[in-house]
């Protein structure tokens, strides 16, 4: 819907958190690759294990964002390549709630690093390294190539580019 609005000049710019958008109709004003990982509580038995595979995670209770949200969709696509599907015990659009529940040991999740950074620094969450399951997640600020970028729009783009994802979202 946002791209339709952009194409019809109903919005000036959009900020995405998704696959890298390659489209000659749009100018990428700013972009940043965002890390995304499976995460567990610092007390979880998997937190201290090395050389994990996706098979080590499948019998765990999962707390995930809603199906088709950007990074959830990317995870589902990576899993589908190996004919794997996860049935979460909870789905919600609130990544902060999921992060809090995982910190309390309720389950395991797949979240972008900007959501989990504080908890990882505190040691209450651990990012799991699962080879082959590191999707490319990008924050991009885009505008239509035919859009005249006024000084005001450029100021907004510059401001958004200087912010962290937590500040934008």
Contact 23, 146 (CB under 8 A): no
pTM of the complete model: 0.85
Q: Are β-strands 36-41 and 125-128 bridged in parallel, bridged antiparallel, or unpaired?
A: antiparallel
What radius of gyration do the chain's Cα atoms show?
A: 18
**Apex 9 CA angle, 7 and 14, nearest 5:** 75
Kindly provide the b/e burial profile for residues 89-114, where b requires at least 16 CB atoms within 10 angstroms of the residue's own CB: eeeeeebeebbebbbeeebbbbbbeb
Say how far apart CA 88 and CA 56 lie, in whole Å: 16
Tell me: the pLDDT tens digits for 54-110?
Answer: 999 999 999 999 988 888 999 999 999 999 999 999 999 999 999 999 999 999 999
> 106-152 pLDDT, tens per residue?
999 999 999 999 999 999 999 999 988 888 889 999 999 999 999 99
């Amino acid at each position: 819907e946002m791209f339709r609005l952009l194409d019809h000049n109903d919005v000036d710019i959009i900020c995405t958190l998704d696959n890298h958008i390659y489209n000659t109709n749009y100018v990428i004003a700013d972009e940043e690759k965002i890390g995304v990982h499976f995460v567990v509580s610092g007390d979880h038995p998997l937190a201290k294990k090395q050389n994990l595979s996706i098979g080590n995670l499948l019998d765990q209770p999962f707390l995930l964002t809603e199906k088709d949200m950007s990074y959830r969709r990317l995870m589902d696509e990576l899993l589908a390549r190996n004919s794997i599907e996860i049935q979460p015990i909870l789905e919600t659009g609130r990544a902060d709630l999921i992060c809090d529940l995982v910190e309390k040991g309720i389950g395991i999740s797949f979240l972008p690093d900007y959501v989990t950074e504080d908890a990882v620094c505190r040691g209450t969450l651990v990012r799991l390294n699962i080879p082959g399951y590191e999707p490319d997640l990008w924050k991009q600020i885009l505008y239509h190539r035919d859009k005249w970028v006024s000084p005001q729009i450029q100021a907004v783009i510059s401001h958004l580019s200087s912010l962290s994802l937590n500040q934008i979202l």
